Amino acid sequence: MNINDKISKVESDHQVFRRKVAEYELDYQDMKRDAKRLSEDLTDLIISYCHNHHQELPMLELCQLEENRDNFEKRISRFETRLSQTYQEENKLYNQNMESLEKEKKKV
């Protein structure tokens, strides 16, 4: 495999990685939005039910729901950090490979 083929392969592999991660990121954004909407809908449903049936709001359950939402946001934040690190590691590896191949190309 000549040097230009190696460069093309590294670039192609990098593009494949970026597309794959972009798909994951879209799925993640959808799940995050759905989870937030579900949590908000559940809270609204509980409040509406209690209001319509003249019952006191179940504060313990609403607090638990809020705590669950906060925990979910923390997990999302950790995921975002890992995703960012993965991007950085891939870019670093890509840049190292390209630099190495460019040096090799100059020698030839």
Confidence at 94, pLDDT banded by 50, 70, 90: very high
Cα→Cα distances 81→22, 51, 53, 78, Å: 15, 41, 44, 5
Percentage above 90 pLDDT, the chain: 66
53 phi, psi to nearest 5 deg: -105, 15
pTM of the prediction?
Answer: 0.73
| pLDDT one-digit tens code per residue, 29-56 | 999 999 999 989 998 999 899 889 888 8
- Which sign does the torsion angle of CA 64, 65, 68, 69 carry? negative
Helices 3-52 and 59-107: crossing angle, nearest 10°? Answer: 170
Three-point CA angle 61, 67, 71, nearest 5°:
145
Contact 42, 65 (CB under 8 A): yes
Q: How far apart are alpha carbons 101 and 6 in whole angstroms?
A: 8
Cα→Cα distances 43→11, 35, 59, 66, Å: 48, 12, 11, 9
pLDDT averaged over every residue in the chain: 91
